[in-house]
Amino acid sequence: MPEGPLRLVVFISGGGSTLENIIQRIDDGRLTNTRIVLVVSSRSNVRGVEIARTADLPLAIIRKQDYADEAAFSSTLTAAVDAVHADLVVLAGFLCFWRLPAHWQGRVLNIHPALLPRFGGRGMYGQHVHEAVLATGERDSGCTVHLADNEYDHGPTVAQAHVPVEPDDTPETLAARVAAAERELYPHVIQQIAVNGLGWLDPYRAALCADS
């Protein structure tokens, strides 16, 4: 067991259901040894921001349009997570690109609502993902937790959960089934790290180094 709770930062851009789920699980004791030390939102007027405020969490709104370029935006994100001495960052529907400096590589997770490496990348978010899965006639979908690298929806897979695609599925019904799987998978991975320490990620970090 690591010393002290895992210092977690959650990056959001929208609805915040992933953030809400993590907060609930910490509150009801299903996610232990974890403290959200900061929520970063790339948008100011989204439900996720309200969720962070209601939960009284430290919140930073860091909008890409307020910076001259991607490098300046990324440096601001890095400074924000460094300032709170975070252990781990989880991307939770974060729609912007954070260019990871070396000291953050291997400590940033993303969740994606499909079985990567398929159906990921820029523009593949929300209903777009489920529409694409249905359009290709897949019988299987799910969600992926992976270590983030410096490409969208890319990096070593840490965990996946599968759900069936039913013949009468619409993007909405498939999205709901995948969302239910996400609500279990992300907290499960965070809990492993909270209990076992960041070293639990070492095998996946090794794959990250081999890739780059």
User: How many chain residues touch ligand GAR (CB under 6 A)?
Assistant: 16
The DSSP call for residue 98 is: -
Contact status: 41 vs ligand GAR (CB under 6 A): no
Nearest approach, Cβ of 21 to ligand GAR (angstroms)?
8
Among 6, 42, 48, 74, binds ligand GAR (CB under 6 A): 48
Task: Annotate 167-177 with b (16+ C-beta within 10 A) or e (fewer).
Answer: eebebeebbeb
Among positions 87-126, residues that touch ligand GAR (CB under 6 A) are 92-93, 111-113, 124-125
- Whole-angstrom distance, CA of residue 208 vs CA of residue 140: 26
Nearest-angstrom CA–CA distance, 76 and 135: 39
156 binds ligand GAR (CB under 6 A): no
Residues in 121-140 at the binding interface with ligand GAR, rule: CB under 6 A: 124-125
Q: Does 149 bind ligand GAR (CB under 6 A)?
A: no
Looking at 112, 146, 154, 162, which residue is catalytic? Answer: 112
Decide if 112 is catalytic: yes
Least separation in angstroms between residue 34's CB and ligand GAR is 17
124-131 long-range contacts, Cβ below 8 Å, gap at least 24? 124/152, 124/153, 125/93, 125/95, 126/175, 127/171, 127/172, 127/175, 130/171, 130/172, 130/174, 130/175, 130/178, 131/171
Give the tokens for residue 111.
């969740």
- Stretch in the footprint of ligand GAR (CB under 6 A) among 13-21, 63-71, 82-90, 131-139: 13-21
Which residues are 143's β-sheet partners?
161
Q: Name the minimum Å distance from CB 94 to ligand GAR.
A: 7
Q: Near ligand GAR by CB under 6 A, which window of 10-18, 36-44, 134-142, 204-212?
A: 10-18
Shortest separation between residue 4's beta carbon and ligand GAR, angstroms: 26
Nearest to 37, CA basis, from 64, 17, 62, 11: 11
8-state DSSP, 197: -
Alpha helices per DSSP H over 91-201: 127-135, 171-196
Residues recognised as catalytic: 112
Q: Which residues bind ligand GAR (CB under 6 A)?
A: 12, 14-18, 48, 92-93, 111-113, 124-125, 153, 182
